[in-house]
């Protein structure tokens, strides 16, 4: 009976969501969205950095991150759902089993996406190796630093108002 109820709930979710979106598990948080600018600096040899406009939509389980150039050109789109993550750059698609793998390739470091959603909501979720500074979140600013594993990295977000 439980299996039949779960199947019925999933079928209803698919009908309501349409073909273009994945069903969101009932235990997941509601969809959220943020936009602004982000900067990632990886203290490697040689150092790596990325600065871009961004739009983050969804939840830690199902979502999308879009990165834009200063002129508004789409640099990359990352989409994820359980067991799958995709990166689109221009006409090129890359599939991966995890968002962590794609974020490391795109941003130069593994950004803790689940914690990022919490941090943007003002929750100081602990992540091994990372230290988030939420003290300026009311001003639309978030920063986080990773000390381990090396190389160290800095993440800065400035949110649109």
Phi, psi of 71 (to 5 degrees): -90, 0
Lowest mean pLDDT among 11-15, 94-98, 104-108, 146-150: 11-15
Identify which has the larger pLDDT, 16 or 39. 39
Asked if the 31-159 domain carries CATH number 3.30.450.20, the reply is: no
pLDDT band at 21 (very low <50, low <70, confident <90, very high): very low
pLDDT value of position 55: 97
pLDDT band at 30 (very low <50, low <70, confident <90, very high): low
Q: Which three-class secondary structure state does DSSP give residue 129?
A: coil
- Stretch 124-152: mean pLDDT, rounded? 95
Identify which has the larger pLDDT, 118 or 1. 118
Residue where the block lists tokens 């871009």 = 52
CA distances from residue 93 to 16, 21, 33, 86 in whole angstroms, order as listed: 27, 18, 23, 7
* Mean pLDDT over the full length of the chain: 82
Report percent pLDDT > 70 for the chain.
81
pLDDT value of position 66: 95
Phi, psi of 32 (to 5 degrees): -135, 165
Residue where the block lists tokens 């962590």 = 100
pLDDT value of position 104: 79
């Amino acid at each position: 009976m439980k299996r039949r109820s779960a199947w019925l709930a999933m079928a209803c979710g698919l009908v309501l969501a349409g073909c273009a979106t994945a069903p969101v598990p009932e235990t997941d948080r509601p969809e959220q969205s943020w936009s602004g600018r982000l900067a990632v600096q990886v203290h490697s040899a040689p150092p790596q950095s990325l600065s871009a406009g961004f739009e983050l939509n969804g939840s830690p389980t199902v979502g999308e991150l879009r990165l834009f150039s200063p002129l508004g050109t789409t640099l990359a789109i990352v989409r994820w759902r359980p067991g799958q993550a995709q990166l689109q750059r221009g006409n090129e698609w890359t599939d991966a089993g995890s968002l962590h793998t794609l974020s490391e390739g795109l941003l130069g470091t593994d950004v803790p996406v689940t914690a990022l959603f919490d941090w943007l909501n003002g929750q100081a979720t602990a992540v091994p190796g990372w230290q988030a500074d939420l003290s300026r979140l009311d001003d639309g600013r978030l920063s986080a630093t990773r000390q381990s594993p090396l190389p160290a990295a800095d993440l800065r977000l400035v949110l649109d108002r």
